[in-house]
Amino acid sequence: AQSVTQLGSHVSVSEGALVLLRCNYSSSVPPYLFWYVQYPNQGLQLLLKYTSAATLVKGINGFEAEFKKSETSFHLTKPSAHMSDAAEYFCAVSGAGGGNKLTFGTGTQLKVEL
Amino acid sequence: EAGVAQSPRYKIIEKRQSVAFWCNPISGHATLYWYQQILGQGPKLLIQFQNNGVVDDSQLPKDRFSAERLKGVDSTLKIQPAKLEDSAVYLCASSGQRGGVNEQFFGPGTRLTVL
């Protein structure tokens, strides 16, 4: 069985500060890992994905994430927060086999303050 | 390229009534997913179709939920009868590759309120 745990349901940062959203995974097979963003009243948009190539993955809007097998982590970072980054962020895992079923974490609401 | 379309965007019904949601995936995408997202939680997969066949419906409450994907394109998700705990956003997603890793593209969702 696969699962992800997102630490912190709410994170607040100042504009221009570092954004760090935490995700730890549990998987019995080599995982594929994803970060999605959800703006109010919208569907989910893929930020980035790890598919067993480079461990440091760069995504859209200046976000990146590093896969650390020893820590079973896939934390999302952005060097400088912008007001437009305020949204809910979901980490998700799927197995390397077929099916592509995504298992999502409970989400982290990011608030960006002036 | 047009995205995943869903309708209606919002629906309010009373418990024990029935409701149906419609999804039109991205053209050419063989795989279609329905997720349930309860407030404060991540999306949970209800059912996955590959073309018009069901791949995974292990978390679909089959006593009240049903879904179909006739002709392997559009899909409908039905709830009959609805319960209060069915209040959620129902997300449809589609993807375009067999196996491997591919991106799921999500529609805007249908927000269901059961009173």
Per-residue pLDDT of chain B (115 residues; tens, 9 = 90+): 689 999 999 999 999 999 999 999 999 899 999 999 999 899 999 999 998 899 999 999 999 999 999 888 999 999 999 999 999 999 999 988 655 567 889 999 999 999 9
CB neighbour list of residue A34: distance below 8 Å, 6 or more residues apart: A46, A47, A48, A49, A50, A91, A92, A93, A94, A102
Peptide bond before residue B81 is cis, with ω within 30 degrees of 0: yes
Q: Cα dist. A42→A22, A55, A83, B5, B89 in Å?
A: 23, 29, 17, 12, 10
Quote the pLDDT of residue B87. 98
Q: Is B100 on the interface with A (CB under 8 A)?
A: yes
Q: Is A99 left (phi over 0), alpha (psi -120 to 50) or beta?
A: left
Distance CA B107, CA B29 (A): 13
Residue % of chain A over a pLDDT of 70: 96
The CA-based angle A13-A3-A101, given to 5 degrees, is: 105
Rg (CA), chain B: 13
pLDDT tens-digit readout, A47-100: 999 987 788 999 999 999 999 999 999 999 999 999 999 999 999 998 765 457
Quote the pLDDT of residue B70. 83
Distance CA A48, CA B81 (A): 38
Question: Is the model more confident about A53 or about A106?
Answer: A106
Q: Is B43 on the interface with A (CB under 8 A)?
A: yes
3-state SS string over A60-99? HHHCEEEEEHHHCEEEEEECCCCHHHCEEEEEEEEECCCC
Whether B42 sits inside 8 A of A105 (CB atoms) is yes
Amino acid at B45: L
Distance CA B44, CA A102 (A): 8
A92 CB neighbours in chain B (<8 A) are 42
Nearest residue, CB atoms, B106 vs list A9, A44, A51: A44
Quote the pLDDT of residue A98. 47
* Burial (CB count <10 Å: 0-12, 13-18, 19+), residue A59: middle
